[in-house]
């Protein structure tokens, strides 16, 4: 038997490299969820339509009291006919948290600035409404909109 070529101790190396390469080719790209901008646009559409259910669908999956927070936000800010002129996204607290500043004009001609807090769940951005199970509630809704 020849001692040239692959030694018995390393015969597995090409097989492992081949499997790794094949596995990398076989993996599908992770599904792309809603972006921060798409979430901000959907948020404004829900406000303008005074659509609590649409706002609830933008909340984090599995969170508690999302509907209660959505109702509060719609009651305070809904139906104003907001037109968004600018969207600025900041990721000061990590890649999966965003503070989104929306600017524009309301139907009555008044300018507005709204900050929407978002978090990313499985690749999709959600408006922070409610609270994580067991975390307890209290305080103002993080997604509440205010004009500075």
pLDDT tens, residue order, the chain (148 aa):
544 554 555 554 444 344 444 444 444 444 578 999 999 999 999 999 999 999 999 999 999 999 999 999 999 999 999 999 999 999 999 999 999 999 999 999 999 999 999 999 999 999 999 998 988 655 444 454 444 4
Residue 43 inside a domain? The answer is yes
Which range marks the domain in which residue 84 is found?
Answer: 36-127
Report the pLDDT value the prediction gives residue 52, as an integer from 0 to 100.
97
Residue 104 inside a domain? The answer is yes
Number of structural domains the chain divides into: 1
Residue 53 inside a domain? The answer is yes
Q: Which helix (H) or strand (E) holds 12?
A: helix 12-26
Q: Is the pTM of this model over 0.75?
A: no
Closest to 62 measured CA to CA, from 137, 134, 145 = 134
Residue 92 inside a domain? The answer is yes
Report the pLDDT value the prediction gives residue 134, as an integer from 0 to 100.
84
Residue 6 inside a domain? The answer is no
b/e map 75-110, b = 16+ CB within 10 Å: eebbebebebeebebeeeeeeeebbbebeeebeeee
CATH number, domain of 51, equals: 3.10.450.50
Query: How far, in Å, are 39, 97, 119, 137 from residue 62 at the CA level?
Result: 18, 17, 13, 14
Residue 98 inside a domain? The answer is yes
Report the pLDDT value the prediction gives residue 135, as an integer from 0 to 100.
80
């Amino acid at each position: 038997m020849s001692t040239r070529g692959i030694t018995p101790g390393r015969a597995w190396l090409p097989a492992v490299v081949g499997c790794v390469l094949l596995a990398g080719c076989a993996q599908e790209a992770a599904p792309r969820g809603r972006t921060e901008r798409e979430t901000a646009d959907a948020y404004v559409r829900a406000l303008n339509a005074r659509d609590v259910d649409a706002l609830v669908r933008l909340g984090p999956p599995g969170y508690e009291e999302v509907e209660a927070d959505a109702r509060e936000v719609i009651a305070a800010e809904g139906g104003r006919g907001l037109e968004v002129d600018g969207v600025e996204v900041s990721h000061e607290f990590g890649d999966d948290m965003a503070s989104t500043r929306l600017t524009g004009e309301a139907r009555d001609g008044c300018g507005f600035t709204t900050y929407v807090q978002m978090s990313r769940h499985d690749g999709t951005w959600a408006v922070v409404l409610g609270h994580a199970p067991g975390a307890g509630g209290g305080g103002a809704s993080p997604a509440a909109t205010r004009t500075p």
